[in-house]
Structure 1
Amino acid sequence: MLTEQAILDALRPVQDPEVHKSIVELGMVRKVEIKGDHAAIEVVLTIAGCPLRNKIDMDVREALAQVDGLKTYDLQLGTMTDEERANFRAVLQGTKDQPVPTLLDPESKTLFLAIASGKGGVGKSTVTANLAVALAKMGYRVGVIDADIYGFSIPGIFGIGDQKPTLIDNMLLPVIKHDVKIISMHFFVPDNRPVIWRGPMLGKMMRNFFAEVHWGDIDIMLLDMPPGTGDMALDVHQMLPKSKEVIVTTPQLHATEVAARVGTMAIQTNHEILGVVENMSYFEAHGEKHYIFGKGGGERLALELKTEVLAQIPLGVAEEKGDAIYDPQTPQGEAYARLAKTIGRKIDAVTMVGDRENF
């Protein structure tokens, strides 16, 4: 005999694609009515025009096809009421008051990895984005905060386009691309207007990225830092006293000299430097490497900061596919995969192999 419970049990494995929790647990199944072997089912979405509407519809129908005794059904997709959205948020965040954002809680198991550079134009954001994708492919749950408030470029590199974070009451759901959760100032600035802010406002925005965004479970949070040693860099170092750091440079002498200041700041604020990434190291053609920007910059910087060169990324252009994420089969993609494995080993060496609970 067909029952409401049988329908709910079938729908329980169906997850909201943005938050990766059961639509039953989230209260998205508003109605199930049974008449013989027919069911009328209503599933409600967080907002009208939900961009993942078709995905949820397809997943629900696939689940209903497995229900014994269900011959026909009517499926309606609606929109949550204010009360239902409040319940949705309560399930995600819990009912306990959390004056400290979950990510910033001392007990948080998320590892913060700041990707920094001394100057702009060295490919720091490209390194951040491609490293994030490579880590996600290894099975890590990865987020990216575009902390470069003035020069945000992460959404463009990921090819996100006009997609925006979903807003539920005062809670934001990050945009997901290539299995990476992303938040950026880009989403809140109309028509690519310049951000004309000073230190205190920048710090407040960064705290909002931690407090007002529902990140869910994150293993590694990458922060695409603004270049240099200004207010934002100092704020992040103060907010995240246990974050690790990767310094990005190009081979030129002047680039490494500037990058050394960023590394020195990290050391002075007791942040561990995992190593140096030398970007645009060489251009390879017909099996021969051409060192367009010189050689040895990464090694010089690593020596000065008493660390190591984690990777040398060759110069190249991502395929014209709407983003700047390198294909895994390209020399650049292979370099990022090796970099991700190296960082993964370093993380495991600190946290004990396979023990994510110590992040």
Structure 2
Amino acid sequence: MERRIAVLKERASGETRVSATPETVRKLIGLGGSVAVEAGAGLAASIADEDYRAAGAQVGTADQVLAGAQIVLGVQAPDAVLLAQAAPGAWVVAIHDPFGRRERVDALAAAGFEGLAMELMPRITRAQSMDVLSSQSNLAGYKAVIAAADIYGRAFPMMMTAAGTISAAKVFVMGVGVAGLQAIATARRLGAQVSATDVRAATREQIQSLGAKPIFVENVAGIEGEGAGGYATEMSDEYQRAQAELVSSHIAKQDIVITTALIPGRAAPRLVTDAQIATMKPGSVIFDFAAPQGGNVEGTVPDQVIERHGVKLMGFANTPAQLPADASALYARNLLNFLTAFWDKEQGGPVLDDEIGEAIRLTRGGQVVHPRLLG
């Protein structure tokens, strides 16, 4: 029996992405599933309903596409009340934000759905193609630099003209994960003079490989490798003080600062204080990638440009959603890769029961089951 897969229109404010594209719809049908897409789901990502129909999907209202669905795909997880027409025990595959939206997880459990949080995908080799955080952060790192350049008011590359020479912009990237590395690469492509820092000593070579200058605390030990699951972790008070001194001496010379530090399940660490902002040159720009998680920068307000001490602070509430077509294409492929990896032809659908399942499963059998949400 084929599995019915429902693709919902996103309801969160400012969410422009969609969880399936015509390309992935065709491939899901090729696996043996049937796909139903809510009308208008792809419009913000420049995908018309007719494009989905041409790929073989049914298009209808939310109740119509959810009727009997065993798998529900979303970008941001829908509320349980919307899923009333879905099959009992249906998978809800999406970004769930389980630590920020615990009540939604509890509601999914109470309704009997199996919530699968794609943002908890373990950073292991065989799961790389399913890693939604990496694909979305890659685009976000690019967009952060482009957005900062747009409001900077000066050129990025050095320009030599008959009227004189324009110096290259100085860009400082704080946090060298996927987003930070793409920000470095983008700023370099635009011709900026780039430096970067991170708490993980292993990123020094990555920074240098992109042609940027590494800025590191030298006299206090940081993290030699990666933190748990490939993410950075919180540092000692001694390291934080040393880093703050280093940043204070470096940030005053910068034109653009991009901050990208996030700690899963916790508020974003504060990297730049108001006092440090005050040392920067008027007209400088700070893009705070972590604005929706409390911000790396004191005073940042999501989706607003705030001026403090002559410095412009900005950060989007949803950075990948600023590039809806590409972000949707990559996200949809992540979901396709995930479902394909576990598709069992004999069962007529995906079967999930291994270390990846343990890492991303939030609810099952009417209970919240993820270890980090228990106790």
TM-score over 0.5 (shorter chain): no
- Higher RCO, Cα 8 Å, sep 6+: 2
Q: TM-score, normalised by structure 1?
A: 0.35
Q: TM-score, normalised by structure 2?
A: 0.34
